[in-house]
């Protein structure tokens, strides 16, 4: 009994969520320190225990919520039962999309997590309160869309005049009087990089040449982006003469043809890796690449490694996974992995709240709405507003419907039959195609423990 009382008396755990977009950084009351001070003061005044602070800086509400890293981290903590209430200063810090709001609200409801704003008052427990939230979100979304349209128009006008719309340009170029011009200090380096690749067809060779000649270290992905950047031939978006070309357009286009030809060409050894494109490093999310040791084809020792760890030293996953070992593990454990995957999806489906929505009733309201307008009982503005509201309800209900459960029985039967009789007769290329048809990813953690994600 005393243990129960102590649990009841424990303060509610509050997550402080702070978001500010780039254009709002300097606005009074929206800066990060101002938001944090306000939220911490509110939590202290109301007896909340701060469970964590989640700050998304430079993130616009117009972007999908999945692009907000701290927001997604907070939602993981919600699912883990670490949060009782989420605090933010205003509703527009949370969402400006009605559809996104309801997607997240379902998750919060499923885990009994509430939310509060410190500078506004909302009531989510009454019909009028929820209607008010819908109206505020709809207005905020409309304002955001209008702002976005105005910004796109201004940017399009600037691009048409050859003016810059950001302060960042690639190596070899610089900004002068709001226009992009060649950078005299680095332009020749970029020209030599392009020329070396055009002559030798090797990105690694071009990188080594620049490093040895100029002492400049370039990363593989940086060079690939440079070689494909049309700004070097003077093109940006729809403006074909945006700036002075650093690389002649004909030469730039010839290099694109060379890049495309090499990207689809098979490796010179003709090796086929069974799990190519499937193995993912669980530590950093990068797809692991195949490598081979052994001079003779009969003694080849194929494995998969994380390039972020072994080449760029940006990941701790340095262990390699041998292809034969991974293949044998899959043959022994694939049906068990499928059963675990099926159970996980069933648990997630059981937790999902099925929305109670009468689609036919909403459609009848839309039909009556037409009659009201035809009989001049409502104005055109009223008709449009109500029609948009009902259409949004239908769309939200459709998006909220749970996804269809995959045919696990059929997949289980396929694997049972194929692994016992068909698989041993397959060639290496056919085995690769077989696994690609069944598996979406094989995630390897730092200890090379596999986790299989099946295709839906």
- Give the active site residues: 21
Q: What is the DSSP letter of 403?
A: P
- Give the pair of three-digit tokens for residue 51: 């469970």
* Residue linked to tokens 């009351």: 29
What does the longest C-alpha to C-alpha distance in the chain come to?
86
C-alpha to C-alpha distance for 115 and 124, rounded to whole angstroms? 9
- Indicate left, alpha or beta for 285 from its phi (over 0: left) and psi (-120 to 50: alpha): left
- SS3 (DSSP) at 301: strand
Q: Beta-carbon neighbour count of residue 3 at 10 Å?
A: 7
Query: Bridge partners of 18?
Result: 55
C-alpha to C-alpha distance for 289 and 443, rounded to whole angstroms? 13
C-alpha to C-alpha distance for 219 and 309, rounded to whole angstroms? 14
Burial 337-363 (b: 16+ CB within 10 A, else e): bbeebbeebeeeeeeeeeeeeeeeeee
C-alpha to C-alpha distance for 324 and 326, rounded to whole angstroms? 5
Which residue in 19, 12, 15 sits closest to 91, CA to CA?
19
Enclosing H/E stretch for 232 = none
Query: Bridge partners of 453?
Result: 441
Q: What is the rounded end-to-end Cα distance, in angstroms, of the chain? A: 47
């Amino acid at each position: 009994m005393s243990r129960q009382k102590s649990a009841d008396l424990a303060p509610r755990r509050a997550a402080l969520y702070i978001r500010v977009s780039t254009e709002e950084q300097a606005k009074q009351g929206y800066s990060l320190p101002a938001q944090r001070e306000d939220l911490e003061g509110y939590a202290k005044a109301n007896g909340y225990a701060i469970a964590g602070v989640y700050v998304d800086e430079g993130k616009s509400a117009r972007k999908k919520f999945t692009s907000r890293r701290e927001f997604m981290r907070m939602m993981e903590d919600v699912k883990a039962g670490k949060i009782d209430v989420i605090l933010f200063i205003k509703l527009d810090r949370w969402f400006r999309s009605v559809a996104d709001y309801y997607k997240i609200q379902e998750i919060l409801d499923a885990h009994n997590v509430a939310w509060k704003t410190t500078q506004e008052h909302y009531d989510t427990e009454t019909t009028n309160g929820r209607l008010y939230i819908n109206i505020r979100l709809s207005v905020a979304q409309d304002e955001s869309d209008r702002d976005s349209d105005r910004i796109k128009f201004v940017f399009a006008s600037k691009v048409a005049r050859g003016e810059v719309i950001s302060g960042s340009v690639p190596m070899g170029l610089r900004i002068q009087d709001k226009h992009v011009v060649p950078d005299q200090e680095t332009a020749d380096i970029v020209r030599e990089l392009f020329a070396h690749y055009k002559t030798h067809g090797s990105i690694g060779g071009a990188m080594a040449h620049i490093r040895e000649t100029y002492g400049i270290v370039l990363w593989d992905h940086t060079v690939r982006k440079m070689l494909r950047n049309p700004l070097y031939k003077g093109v940006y978006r729809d403006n074909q003469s945006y700036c002075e070309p650093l690389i002649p357009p004909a030469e730039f286009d010839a290099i694109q043809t060379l890049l495309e030809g090499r990207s689809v060409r098979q490796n010179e050894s003709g090796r086929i890796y069974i799990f190519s494109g499937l193995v993912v490093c669980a530590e950093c999310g990068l797809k692991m690449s195949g490598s081979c040791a052994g001079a003779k084809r009969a003694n080849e020792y194929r494995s998969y490694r994380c390039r972020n760890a072994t080449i760029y030293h940006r990941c701790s996953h340095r262990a390699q996974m041998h292809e034969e070992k991974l293949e044998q593990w899959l043959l022994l454990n694939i049906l068990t992995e499928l059963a675990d995957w099926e159970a996980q999806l069933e648990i997630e489906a059981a937790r999902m709240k099925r929305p109670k929505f009468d689609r036919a009733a909403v459609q009848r309201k839309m039909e009556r709405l037409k009659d009201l307008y035809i009989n001049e009982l409502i104005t055109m503005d009223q008709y449009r507003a109500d029609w948009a509201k009902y259409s949004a309800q239908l769309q939200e209900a459709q998006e909220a419907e749970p996804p269809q459960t995959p045919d696990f029985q059929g997949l289980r039967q396929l694997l049972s039959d194929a692994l016992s009789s068909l698989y041993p007769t397959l060639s290496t290329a056919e085995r690769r195609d077989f696994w690609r048809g069944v598996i979406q990813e094989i995630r390897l953690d730092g200890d090379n423990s596999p986790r299989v994600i099946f295709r839906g």
